[in-house]
Amino acid sequence: MVWADARRYARVAFRELSFQAVYAFRQGNVLPTESARSLVPKAERRVVQSKLLVSAVLGLIAVGGAFFVASAKTVPFVAAPLTPAVIDGGVVTGLLALDAAFLWWNGLQVLPTLLSSAVVPVLEPLPIDDETRRQTAFLVYLRLFDLPVATVVVVTPVAIGWALGPTAGLSVLPGVVSAVVFALALSLVTGRFFVRRIQGMRGGGGRSVVRWAYLLLWLLPSFAILGFLTAATEFLAVLGSVAADGPALARDLLFSVYPVPFGMLTGVAARGFAQAGLSAWGAVGLLLVATAYVLLTAWTGVWLYGEVGELGHLPVARTAAGPLPTYRLRPRSPTWAVVERDLRVASRTPGYAFLLLLPLLDALALGLLTVADAPSRSAASGLALGAVTVAALLATFFGPAFFAIEVLAYSYGRTLPLSDRAVVGGKVILVAGVYLSASAIVLLLASIRVSDAPLFLGFAAAELPAVVAASCLEIGWLFRTARRRGFPIANLYSGAWTAVLVAIPGLIVAGVPLVVSRLVGIEAMALVAVIELGLCLPFAFWGTT
Task: Catalog residues that contact another protein under the rule CB under 8 A.
Answer: 26-28, 30-31, 33-38, 116, 199-205, 316, 318, 321-322, 324-325, 327-334, 336-337, 340-341, 344-345, 347-349, 408-409, 411-412, 414-419, 422, 545
Which is closer to another protein, CB of 353 or CB of 450?
353
Closest CB 414 distance from another protein, rounded Å: 5
Which is closer to another protein, CB of 204 or CB of 272?
204
Closest CB 338 distance from another protein, rounded Å: 8
Closest CB 503 distance from another protein, rounded Å: 25
Closest CB 200 distance from another protein, rounded Å: 5
Q: Which amino acid is present at 357?
A: L
Which is closer to another protein, CB of 21 or CB of 91?
21
**SS3 sequence of 42-78:** HHHHHHHHHHHHHHHHHHHHHHHHHHHHHHCCCCCCC
Cα distance between residue 201 and residue 391, in whole Å: 30
Closest CB 226 distance from another protein, rounded Å: 25
Closest CB 208 distance from another protein, rounded Å: 9
Which is closer to another protein, CB of 112 or CB of 506?
112
Which is closer to another protein, CB of 12 or CB of 30?
30
How buried is 297 (Cβ within 10 angstroms: 0-12 exposed, 13-18 middle, 19+ buried)?
Answer: buried
Closest CB 334 distance from another protein, rounded Å: 5
Closest CB 56 distance from another protein, rounded Å: 32
Q: What share of the chain is helix, strand, coil (3-state, %, to 5)?
A: 80, 0, 20
Cα distance between residue 140 and residue 309, in whole Å: 10
Which is closer to another protein, CB of 29 or CB of 300?
29
Interior CA angle at 112 toward 106 and 114, to 5°? 90
Closest CB 332 distance from another protein, rounded Å: 5
Task: Tell me the C-alpha to C-alpha distance, in Å, between residue 492 and each of 1, 111, 351, 396, 404.
Answer: 34, 11, 10, 17, 9
Which is closer to another protein, CB of 37 or CB of 73?
37
DSSP 132-163: HHHHHHHHHHHHHHHHHHHHHHHHHHHHHHHH
Cα distance between residue 497 and residue 500, in whole Å: 5
Cα distance between residue 393 and residue 266, in whole Å: 34
Which is closer to another protein, CB of 8 or CB of 414?
414
Which is closer to another protein, CB of 319 or CB of 451?
319
Closest CB 93 distance from another protein, rounded Å: 37
Cα distance between residue 514 and residue 520, in whole Å: 10
Cα distance between residue 303 and residue 295, in whole Å: 12
Q: How many residues does the chain have?
A: 545
Rounded CA Rg of the chain:
25
Cα distance between residue 97 and residue 236, in whole Å: 14
Cα distance between residue 446 and residue 385, in whole Å: 9
* Cis ω before 315 (30° cut-off from 0): no
Which is closer to another protein, CB of 59 or CB of 413?
413
